[in-house]
Amino acid sequence: MTQIQRIFLTRAQHSVECAVEFLGLREGRMALPEDALIRSQWSTEMAKPTTIKIRLNSTADTGFFYVTKKNARTMTKKMVVRKYDPVVRKHVEFKEGKIK
């Protein structure tokens, strides 16, 4: 066994001992399976992204659209922006729609 393997094993044993002590699983108390201890220490779920992609459709009914991002947590209502539509060669309102 190499020195690196020994260090890894001692760290792993230490983390399990800390979890046992934290959960109060010392003498005479209810015991949990080992995989429950490991699952309680590390979470595999990632955070949800704050921004989502949206499609801004032209209200001039030209079929032209922009794709952009918006923060769904701070902007809860539908986005309406005045932008340039090259088909009609004017600035018109663009309303938020879903990306298909």
Assess whether 59 and 93 both reside in one domain: yes
**Residue ranges making up the domain that contains 20:** 3-41
Assess whether 35 and 56 both reside in one domain: no
Domain with residue 91: its CATH number is 2.20.28.120
The pLDDT tens digits for 41-67 are 556 788 888 999 999 999 999 999 999
Assess whether 9 and 35 both reside in one domain: yes
The overall pTM is greater than 0.95 = no
Assess whether 61 and 80 both reside in one domain: yes
Q: Report if residue 80 sits inside a domain.
A: yes
Q: Report if residue 46 sits inside a domain.
A: no
| Number of domains into which the chain is organized | 2
Assess whether 88 and 55 both reside in one domain: yes
Assess whether 59 and 35 both reside in one domain: no
The pLDDT tens digits for 73-82 are 999 999 999 9
Contacts of 62 (CB under 8 A, 6+ apart): 85, 87, 88
20 exposed, middle or buried (CB, 10 Å; 0-12, 13-18, 19+)?
Answer: middle
d(CA 11, CA 13): 5
Assess whether 36 and 58 both reside in one domain: no
What value does the mean pLDDT take over residues 33-47? 61
